[in-house]
Amino acid sequence: MKKLSAIVISFVTISVVFYGFFSLIEKNLSYYISELSEKVEIVAFIDDKLNDYQKNELIKKIENIKTIDGIKYTSKMEAMDEFKKNPEFAKQIKILGENPLPATIDIYLKKNDPETVKKIAEEIKILNGVEDIYYTSIEAENLLTINKTFNALSGWFNLIFIIFAGVSVVSLSLAVQSKKIFFGVIDAIIGGGIGFYILHLMHKHIFMQNFKTPIFFSNSEIIISSIVLIIICLVVRIPKNVKEK
């Protein structure tokens, strides 16, 4: 009995750690990409040679792009005033003796996903009067590619894990020698407790060091997972009992 319980507890612990770690990566990566998408912005740097009429025409062209929600024009003087608020930067400006800052247009989109940002940035970049373009979605693009690959692999991972868990449960159930079903509850509580504690340590020492806002499982997710583990461990104990009755 003790040997069987040790096997069941080990199976539960390994399953929780293995599947839980993969789930944590997916949760944190998805959240991080979502957070980056909300911070995405496009800034167009305006050619200093443009006159007021040309600048107004350029602003109208940008405003007429369908996916743009709004814009903010900042003149060279306004950019300088903002720059001077930092004492260190103000000293550097005095040394230069002139205003090196370009006029800019901050562009706000209705959709901030990386694909849309890149498309709009490239569309604005070719407009006459736009000297350069800057957008903060490069990192988000890279993470999005990783996330797509990860999501594709997660489908296969889930299928393999379900098969592995199913075969393991059947194999363990056939090895049961006791009629006491409550041992299944004990196995689930001990194995699940150890598994989630190991995940907590992984979250503390791995995720908290690599993600600015690391996410762990919510209380509801832990409760639901615990119920599933108890049901699985009870199933492991049932077949032999039914046969002996």
What tokens appear for 22 in the block? 């993969």
What pTM was estimated for this model as a whole?
A: 0.61
Identify the CATH number of the domain in which residue 59 sits: 3.30.70.3040
Give how many domains the chain has, as a whole number. Answer: 2
For 172, what's the count of Cα atoms within 13 Å in the CB-facing half-sphere? Answer: 26
Per-position b or e across 12-51, b if 16+ CB within 10 A of its CB: bbebbbebbbbbbebbbbeebbeebbeebebbbebeeebe
Predicted confidence at residue 36, as pLDDT, reads: 65
Q: Over the stretch 86-122, which tens digit does the pLDDT of each residue have?
A: 776 666 666 666 677 889 998 888 877 777 888 888 8
pLDDT of 144 over the 70 cut: no
Regarding whether 151 and 108 lie in a shared domain, the answer is no
User: Which among 132, 174, 125 is positioned nearest to 7, based on CA atoms?
Assistant: 174
Question: Quick check: 4 and 175 in contact, CB under 8 A?
Answer: yes
The residue from 86, 114, 135 where one domain ends is 135
131 and 53 together in one domain: yes
At residue 141, the pLDDT reads 65
Q: Are 127 and 42 in contact (CB under 8 A)?
A: no
Query: Do 31 and 90 belong to one domain?
Result: no
* 20 and 71 both lie in a single domain: no
Of 87, 111, 135, the position where a domain reaches its end is 135
Which residue has better confidence, 180 or 79? 79
Residue 184 lies in domain? 2-35+142-244
Q: Please determine, for residue 207, whether its predicted confidence score (pLDDT) is greater than 90.
A: no
Residues 168-187 have a mean pLDDT of 73
Angle 162-163-167 (CA atoms, 0-180°, nearest 5)? 115
Chain center to CA of 206: 15
Claim to verify: residue 83 and residue 28 sit in the same structural domain: no
Instruction: Indicate whether 131 and 146 sit together in one domain.
Output: no
Q: Specify whether 92 is located in the same domain as 73.
A: yes
